[in-house]
Amino acid sequence: MTLYNALVEPFVEFGFMRRALTACLALSIGSGPIGVLLLLRRMSLIGDAMSHAVLPGAAVGFLFAGLSLPAMGVGGLVAGLAVALLSGLVSRTTELREDASFAGFYLASLAAGVLIVSLRGSNIDLLHVLFGTILAVDAQALYVVAGIASVTLLILAVVYRPLVAECFDPGFMRVVGGRGSLYHLLFLFLVVINLVAGFQALGTLMAVGLMMLPAAAARLWATTLPVLTVVAAGIAFASGFIGLIVSYHLGVASGPAIVLVASLFYVLSIVAGRGGMVRRHLPRPHLTG
Amino acid sequence: MKGTGITLRDVTVAYDRRPAVHHVEGAFEPGSLTAVVGPNGAGKSTLLKAIVGALKPVSGVVDRAGLRSRDLGYLPQAAEIDRSFPLTVADTVLLGAWRRTGALRGVDQATGKQAREALSAVGLEGFGRRAVGALSAGQFQRVLFARLLLQDAAVILLDEPFTAIDARTTRDLLDLVHRWHNEGRTVITVLHDFEQVRAHCPQALLLAREQIAWGNTDTVLAPANLLRARAMAENWDENAAICEQPAGTAA
């Protein structure tokens, strides 16, 4: 098998592979920067909780329209935003911190979602919702994913500076910038819509995979935020590309293949990254000044 | 620059009904340099947060003489800032230009030049492209002072600015504090070192949740006041009754 056969031919031959790759590109561009900001805001696990929270909405969409990304996307968006708002409300009006209230709501959401899907669908349908079907992405779904990536970049351009400032120095930001809650809500909105984009490809359980794993890996290589976001998006896309190739040649499920490749990038970064184990523990010659 | 005064009218700030700052009344005069002192848990940082508008008093009024929160220069405690954040020194200093740039506007050449000058003024010329995570505690505090220089505020509030900072940096940054004072800005700073307060701050406010004394530093830091402050800070009543003191009757 030549390199062309291995890496290029699957995408030349099959439209579904091209659409899947394009979806991965759009997902990477949107989810990469969002994952970095989640990581820096110490909300990595909240991203995971949110990805479960979209399930009941997606399940209701599935109940009415079957496996349709727009219907399930709208349902997921509503459910995700509802859980985000409720968790924020609970953490601001009670003693519970935001991570605890998220944990409470996402577990309820996950259980409700699985229950709703099981009302009508088969186990296969449930597997589709939980683990995604990126190879089944059609043109309509592609527009949704690409649209979400575009909206994400536009909104991020507007809220980037306050988000960064608030995360770095919340006390200063509260004084000079105000409106911290508004920016936080807008950010949660971006997290939810990117998870909605991700769940068609990777399912609700792993939608957060292309968000957090590349971000965590990139943190071990880059020292400044702009570079960090670009590296995260790059690792996400590379994971998508390699994952699709692996799934094509080995005949394994594409979603898990993509997330596993992203995990390999993560492990590689932990070992060999600028801030990883080897660099930190191997003696290296020091500089003169 | 003409300083602006801050007046506190019977201000009480509470966490879950327990007052951290209790019926504080007085004024930071325009152009004054005041140290806020007191034992741990005395409410010093809470008072600063109430002044800048980050905490809302449960009773009383903070009168900022028309200044908005964003017009104040505020340096939070170092522990509240994420020093591992992947931000460059230049970007950190430029946050001081928020009033001009806001969330969206770009940084013009004049502002960029001011940021570089501010870095020079704190002894960090050429540090602009370094990541803040690579700086020492002292260098990082210098960067935050450069941000304050760029803010160019009439009222500057510093929350424990010299904690865990070496003597040389403390001396350099104290020079900046004096420069602001000489320029007529109002400076309010939380400090722990009484010798530092006596040497550098003409005015002091001694807090122990309640206001022990406010005025000339020598008078405020009299041994009797310090003893009273310590006794009050240690006096934590688990079964405290509801405060019946009517608003507007603070000492």
The per-residue pLDDT for A121 is 67
Instruction: Tell me how close the Cα of B131 comes to any Cα of chain A, in angstroms.
Output: 7
The per-residue pLDDT for B109 is 93
Interface subset of B 105-144, CB within 8 angstroms of A: 131, 133-134
Backbone angles phi, psi at A220, to 5 degrees: -85, 0
**Which amino acid would we find at residue A169?**
D
- ipTM for the predicted complex: 0.81
Is A36 domain-assigned? yes
Establish if B15 touches chain A: CB-CB under 8 angstroms: no
Is A105 domain-assigned? yes
Instruction: Indicate yes or no: CB of A172 within 8 angstroms of CB of B95.
Output: yes
Instruction: Indicate yes or no: CB of A224 within 8 angstroms of CB of B131.
Output: yes
Q: d(Cα B66, Cα A96) in Å, to the nearest integer? A: 36
Instruction: Indicate yes or no: CB of B76 within 8 angstroms of CB of A176.
Output: no
For the segment A85-102, the average pLDDT, to the nearest whole number, is 82
Neighbours of A65 (CB within 10 A): 14
Residue A70 structural domain: 3-281
pLDDT tens-digit readout, A246-265: 999 999 988 899 999 999 99
Interface subset of B 203-222, CB within 8 angstroms of A: none
Establish if B179 touches chain A: CB-CB under 8 angstroms: no
Establish if A230 touches chain B: CB-CB under 8 angstroms: no
Contacts of B147 in chain A (CB under 8 A): 172
Which of B65, B85, B82, B91 lies closest to B186 in space, CA to CA? B65
Split into its structural domains, chain A has a count of 1
pLDDT band for position A178 (cuts 50, 70, 90): low
Question: What's the CATH number where A214 sits?
Answer: 1.10.3470.10
Please, what are the domains in chain B?
A: 1-67+156-244 (3.40.50.300), 81-153 (no CATH)
Q: d(Cα B75, Cα B95) in Å, to the nearest integer? A: 12
**Across the interface, which of A175, A177, A219 has its CB nearest the CB of B72?**
A175
Instruction: Indicate yes or no: CB of B95 within 8 angstroms of CB of A228.
Output: no
For chain A, percent helix, then strand, then coil, each to nearest 5? 85, 0, 15
Is A122 domain-assigned? yes
Six-digit token string for B210? 């309640």
CB-based burial, A179-189: b 16+ in 10 Å, e otherwise: ebeebbebbbb
The per-residue pLDDT for A150 is 97
Instruction: Indicate yes or no: CB of B86 within 8 angstroms of CB of A222.
Output: yes
Instruction: Tell me how close the Cα of B50 comes to any Cα of chain A, in angstroms.
Output: 10
Interface subset of A 39-58, CB within 8 angstroms of B: 40
User: Which comes out higher in pLDDT, residue A198 or A98?
Assistant: A198
The per-residue pLDDT for B200 is 96
Establish if B101 touches chain A: CB-CB under 8 angstroms: yes
- Confirm if B25 and B2 have CB atoms less than 8 A apart: no
* CA A287 from centroid of its chain's CA atoms: 39
Full pLDDT tens readout for chain B, 251 residues: 666 789 999 999 988 777 888 889 999 999 999 999 999 888 999 999 999 988 899 999 999 988 888 789 999 988 888 888 999 999 999 999 988 888 888 889 999 999 999 999 999 999 999 989 889 999 999 999 999 999 999 999 999 999 888 999 999 999 999 999 999 999 999 999 999 999 999 999 999 988 999 999 999 999 999 999 888 766 666 666 777 676 555 55
Using the predicted structure, report yes or no on whether residue A120 has a pLDDT greater than 80.
Answer: no
Is A19 domain-assigned? yes
The per-residue pLDDT for B235 is 65
pTM value is: 0.84
Six-digit token string for B220? 């405020």
User: Which comes out higher in pLDDT, residue A216 or B243?
Assistant: A216
Which of B60, B63, B62 lies closest to B246 in space, CA to CA? B60
